[in-house]
Amino acid sequence: MKTVVTDVLVIGGGLAGLRMAIAARSRGHEAIVLSLVPPKRSHSAAAQGGMQAALANVTRGMGDNEDVHFEDTVRGSDWGADQIVARMFVNTAPKAARELAAWGTPWSRVRGGEREVIINEERVTLAERVDAHGLIAQRDFGGTKKWRTCYVSDGTGHAMLFTVSAHAISLGIDVHERCEALALIHDGERCYGAVVRNLITGELTAYLSRATALATGGAGRLYRVTTNAVICEGMGHALALETGVAALGNMEAIQFHPTGIFPAGILVTEGCRGDGGLLRDVDGHRFMPDYEPEKKELASRDVVSRRMEEHIRAGHGVSSRFGPHLWLDITLLGRRHIEHNLREVKEICESFLGIDPAEQWIPVRPAQHYTMGGVRTRPTGESPWLRGLFAAGEAACWDLHGFNRLGGNSVAETVVAGMIVGEYIADFCDKAENRVPLPVTLGEEFVKREAARLEALLGHSGKENAFHLCAEMQEIMTHHVGIFRQADALQAGIGRLQRLLQRSRDIGLTSKTWGANADLVAAYRLRRMLKLAITIAHGACQRTESRGAHFREDFPRRNDQDWLKRTLAFWPDDDAVLPRLDYEALDVKQMELPPGWRGYGAKNYVEHPDTPARQAEVEAIRTQMSDSDRFAVQHALMPYADKLPSACEGKNERLEEPLEE
Amino acid sequence: MNNTTSGSGLPPRHISFDILRYNPQDPATAPRMQTYRIEDADSMTLFIALNEIREHQDPTLQFDFVCRAGICGSCAMMVNGRPQLACRTLTRNLPDVTTLAPLPFFELIGDLSVNTGKWMRGMSERLQTWVHTLEPAPDLRKIEARMNPDLAEQIYELDRCVECGCCVAACGTAQMRQDFVGAVGFGQIARFRLDPRDVRNDEDYYALIGDDTGVFGCMSLLACHDVCPKSLPLQTQIAFLRRKMAVA
């Protein structure tokens, strides 16, 4: 049996995974990255519009800083986020953007002087500061008070991924491509790596490591209509869940992006609306101001998606043979802007719709887009239940996004979490207590177990077809666990998913090859996907409130009194058909920003009993410290500096805020 | 949207795919053509068509898709003899019988799947396609170095390459020599050459591409330029590099 030994095993070759590997390698630890596909093809490349980092270089970003980014992020999360993590994130994001700038990302840059932009259907002249000329530019995005989203045209994720990948290659980091982790090797207390299947040859190998990091992205493919790449099947989530020990957090928090092109679900960026694009209905009417007079098209994604579906339900959708849709109008931005700043959008419209978006409106409808839930970790990225198991990026729930992620915060999170968690992984490897002998025999046992499972699948002549069961699961998730949820439909959905899980035990494969075999892959992934689907549906059914992207028609209010807590899901018994749910309360008394109204969406929630007292306390501290600088006030409200690794510490310089030497 | 018919009331069109099948992992098999027939549908792409074949007719068929949105470069294949991204190929633009084959030049994994990732990593290591700097790591707390906005846009223009391999598959020189770096390599050298953050000079680049495996191996057939799915200005860049390398 083949065994590979390394200090750090990173599962997933997108931005978060590569950045963690770089951090570990730079601290002298050997890191191997596993990737289903060549890493530059990871779903990170699909992030179009940009990365939030409070650099405050553009005029409309002036006054932006970590405090504003923090508040936007927490409000966006509908107070589900861990505020300590949000603080760590907003303080590191500018550093991450600047690191990428040094490594070669061709960020779009500020052009000093006047320029014309479209804001709220009007042509407005903005004067960019001459002393900002050549600095990284920012655009507007949903749910943000300032223009904060740094971008590379509308190919931001691609440019970032190529930069980080190039940097990883320059450090000689090994990427084992077309390899899939089938199970984590662990003893119930500590994780020691993974059983890995070579997708070309079918060969199984035990990868033994001191630290194992999951960076496998989201689980969008649980849904029929999703913007996610075909590899986003939640396999990292499943690896953790199937240990029976580690928990997943907030899996019911699923984001639907307002502008998936209809009906294929391919993403067109929020940058379209950020740059001034409008949503229109069957009559060509711009309907968002009717619902959201303040933020209009640029409320948070959960709110805009719900308003769109609400408008369709009211009969204002455009009918087509695939069902109703709405329009995204970017014609008002002009051809020059589209051909320079929205060129991927233009290509997508030409290739998949056969239209010219400078002339024609784009048919759109909300599509599954992001998995806020993930492998529950501490702010260091480590699982509280399994030592040596780390997670970062979309696969993780350290919990930056709570129940709704802001646009531009995910691709930012990949590199920020990559930096922070990567440093913690290196710290972990440095510690003498973690230089434990790697358990070769345990690795062999896990490989044998996985081999036996694969052989059983190949040998079984069942009557079910994995592809068909998968399509059924995707239908159920789309119809029962979508944007609008309610008890009956969720219950029915769970029942149907459980029956699918049982039927999945009777899959018969047409192709019996041990090597490259799409049939086999579909079969073993399906069982894991069904467990995740049930976990999402069950969590959604139990959560009898509405928060962020989780919207219950039968419980439309946010209920802080009963539900200001994070869902934890465990799957200890492999034969079970339901996870065990547990809850972790968020402590209002520690919050820098106590729960309140988000500033958009419904102004309707049940207050937590601790909120008034904490609110008064926060206000008192702010009044008392009115002469202190914002850093001192922040520190008094919610100290977090000790949570940042030293490589990420320090204030961030801005034109308006020079660093004191 | 899988099983829809055209909206015109006409009987649905059927489309045949002649696919080059071969699994090098299985020494008992030999390369062969296999035909699959499916019903065409509105807005169907080769991504949808090939998945339908795999899910309903033949689960052994191998191919690669990731983003299915034309941005990741995974799915390049020969469609009626021309390298292109399969996910962006609408079946309504294809004839009734279409031939699909894997990209030539790259290591074959099986059927339509080739190992572009391995080759691209090798290319990147060989041409050192990353920013080379003599500076110590910058202080990340400080304001970033400035860059001319037009230059940033020019760099991005070349940075848009998705390493799909179409340019190499279409390349006359690459048909004859396996060690040719291809237009993708030239495009990346041109990108870093333009980037003021990279300290390398033309002599350094000459050492990387100043021979027949590099820019002097190019025969100026320029099919690379014609097939690039991202419409990169490869023709101009190759000509420019060759002129610069000739005097380097």
Gap between the Cα atoms of A23 and A308, Å rounded: 42
Name the token pair of A184.
């984590």
Gap between the Cα atoms of A247 and A580, Å rounded: 10
Provide the pLDDT for residue A181. 98
Provide the pLDDT for residue B246. 92
B125 contact residues in A (CB cutoff 8 A): 169
Residue A533, classed as helix, strand or coil, is: helix
A38 contact residues in B (CB cutoff 8 A): 74, 116-118, 120-121, 163
Read off the pLDDT band of B248 (50, 70, 90): confident
Q: Tell me: do B68 and B99 sit in the same domain.
A: yes
Q: Which helix (H) or strand (E) holds B52?
A: helix B46-56
CB neighbourhood size of A280 (10 A) = 19
What average pLDDT score do residues B104-109 get? 96
In DSSP terms, which residues pair with A208 in a beta bridge? A5, A193
Which of A169, A468, A511 lies nearest to residue B124, judging by beta carbons?
Answer: A169
Residue to mutate among B89, B142, B156, B199, with most A CBs inside 10 A, is B156
Q: Is B137 exposed, middle or buried (0-12, 13-18, 19+ CB in 10 A)?
A: exposed
Q: Tell me: do B108 and B133 sit in the same domain.
A: no
Which of B55, B152, B195 lies nearest to residue A107, judging by beta carbons?
Answer: B152
The dihedral built from the CA positions of residue B131, B133, B138 and B144, taken in this order, carries a sign that is: negative
Q: Tell me: do B147 and B242 sit in the same domain.
A: yes
**Which pLDDT tens digit goes with each residue over B53-106?**
999 999 899 999 999 999 999 999 999 999 999 999 999 999 999 999 999 999
Cβ within 8 Å of B, A 260-319: 263-264, 266-267
Crossing angle for the helix pair A487-503 and A518-542, to the nearest 10 degrees:
150
A321 contact residues in B (CB cutoff 8 A): 4, 7, 42
Q: Is residue B122 part of a domain?
A: no
Residue A273 is a catalytic residue = yes
Q: Is residue B121 part of a domain?
A: no
Each residue of A553-574: b (16+ CB within 10 Å) or e? eebeebbbeebbebbbbbbeee
Q: Tell me: do B132 and B28 sit in the same domain.
A: no
DSSP string of A255-311?
Answer: EEEEEEETTT--B--THHHHTT-EEE-TTS-B-HHHH-TTTGGGS-HHHHHHHHHHH
Q: Is residue B103 part of a domain?
A: yes
In DSSP terms, which residues pair with A658 in a beta bridge? none
* CATH code at position B177: 1.10.1060.10
Residue to mutate among B6, B93, B143, with most A CBs inside 10 A, is B143
Backbone angles phi, psi at A374, to 5 degrees: 180, -170
Q: Tell me: do B158 and B181 sit in the same domain.
A: yes
Last residue of a domain, one of B59, B79, B114: B114
Closest CA to A36 of B22, B24, B65: B65
Q: Do B145 and A108 touch (CB under 8 A)?
A: no
Residue with tokens 């002129």: B243
Q: Do A37 and B74 touch (CB under 8 A)?
A: yes
Q: Tell me: do B68 and B40 sit in the same domain.
A: yes
Q: Tell me: do B43 and B98 sit in the same domain.
A: yes
Q: Do A109 and B144 touch (CB under 8 A)?
A: no
Read off the pLDDT band of B25 (50, 70, 90): confident
Last residue of a domain, one of B90, B114, B138: B114
Q: Which helix (H) or strand (E) holds A213?
A: strand A204-214
Q: Which helix (H) or strand (E) holds A453?
A: helix A440-459
**Which pLDDT tens digit goes with each residue over B60-70?**
999 999 999 99
Q: Is residue B225 part of a domain?
A: yes
> Looking at the predicted structure, is the pLDDT value of residue A215 above 50?
yes
Cβ within 8 Å of B, A 103-132: 103-104, 106-111
Our count of domains for chain B comes to 2
> Looking at the predicted structure, is the pLDDT value of residue B6 above 60?
no
Gap between the Cα atoms of A649 and A524, Å rounded: 43
Gap between the Cα atoms of B10 and B42, Å rounded: 13
Q: Tell me: do B94 and B146 sit in the same domain.
A: no
Residue A336 is a catalytic residue = no
Residue to mutate among B93, B144, B151, with most A CBs inside 10 A, is B144
Nearest-10 Cα torsion for A479, A484, A489, A493? 50
Closest CA to A399 of A565, A226, A212: A565
What average pLDDT score do residues A482-494 get? 98
Provide the pLDDT for residue B9. 63
**Which pLDDT tens digit goes with each residue over A412-467?**
999 999 999 999 999 999 999 999 899 999 999 999 999 999 999 999 999 999 99
Gap between the Cα atoms of B140 and A95, Å rounded: 5
Q: Output A452-459 pairs: Cβ under 8 A, ≥24 positions apart.
A: A453/A524, A454/A197, A454/A204, A454/A514, A454/A520, A454/A524, A457/A507, A457/A509, A457/A520, A457/A523, A457/A524, A458/A509, A458/A512, A458/A514, A458/A520
* CATH code at position B90: 3.10.20.30
Q: Tell me: do B72 and B156 sit in the same domain.
A: no
**Which pLDDT tens digit goes with each residue over A280-291?**
999 999 999 999
Last residue of a domain, one of B66, B90, B114: B114
Read off the pLDDT band of A661 (50, 70, 90): low
Q: Do A650 and B141 touch (CB under 8 A)?
A: yes
Q: Do A38 and B55 touch (CB under 8 A)?
A: no
Name the token pair of A513.
């090859």
Q: Do A519 and B148 touch (CB under 8 A)?
A: no
The dihedral built from the CA positions of residue A326, A332, A334 and A337, taken in this order, carries a sign that is: negative
What is the residue-averaged pLDDT of chain A? Answer: 96
> Looking at the predicted structure, is the pLDDT value of residue A333 above 80?
yes
Q: Tell me: do B177 and B209 sit in the same domain.
A: yes
Q: Is residue B3 part of a domain?
A: no
Q: Is A588 exposed, middle or buried (0-12, 13-18, 19+ CB in 10 A)?
A: buried
Q: For chains A and B, what is the number of CB pairs under 8 angstroms?
A: 214
Min distance B172 CA to chain A CA atoms (Å): 26
Q: Are A198 and A178 in contact (CB under 8 A)?
A: yes
Ramachandran assignment for A599, one of left (phi > 0), alpha (psi -120 to 50 degrees), beta (any other) = left
Catalytic residue among A69, A210, A224, A273: A273
A652 contact residues in B (CB cutoff 8 A): 141
Min distance B222 CA to chain A CA atoms (Å): 22
CB neighbourhood size of A208 (10 A) = 21
Ramachandran assignment for B32, one of left (phi > 0), alpha (psi -120 to 50 degrees), beta (any other) = beta
Q: Do A43 and B147 touch (CB under 8 A)?
A: no
List C-alpha distances in Å: A341 to A554, B147, B233: 42, 17, 18
Q: Is residue B123 part of a domain?
A: no
Which of A106, A516, A652 lies nearest to residue B110, judging by beta carbons?
Answer: A516
In DSSP terms, which residues pair with B108 in a beta bridge? B114
Residue to mutate among A109, A345, A653, A660, with most B CBs inside 10 A, is A109
Q: Tell me: do B79 and B166 sit in the same domain.
A: no
CB neighbourhood size of B73 (10 A) = 28
Q: Which helix (H) or strand (E) holds B6?
A: none
Q: Give the structural domain span for B206.
A: 128-247
Q: Is residue B120 part of a domain?
A: no
Catalytic residue among A221, A237, A257, A547: A257
Cβ within 8 Å of B, A 398-457: none
Decide if the complex's ipTM is over 0.90.
Answer: yes
List C-alpha distances in Å: A580 to A269, A438, A459, A481: 37, 31, 31, 19
CB neighbourhood size of B32 (10 A) = 9
Q: Is residue B241 part of a domain?
A: yes
Q: Tell me: do B18 and B73 sit in the same domain.
A: yes
Cβ within 8 Å of B, A 593-652: 650-652
Q: What is the pTM of this model?
A: 0.97
Gap between the Cα atoms of A156 and B152, Å rounded: 13
Provide the pLDDT for residue A330. 97
Q: Do A229 and B67 touch (CB under 8 A)?
A: yes
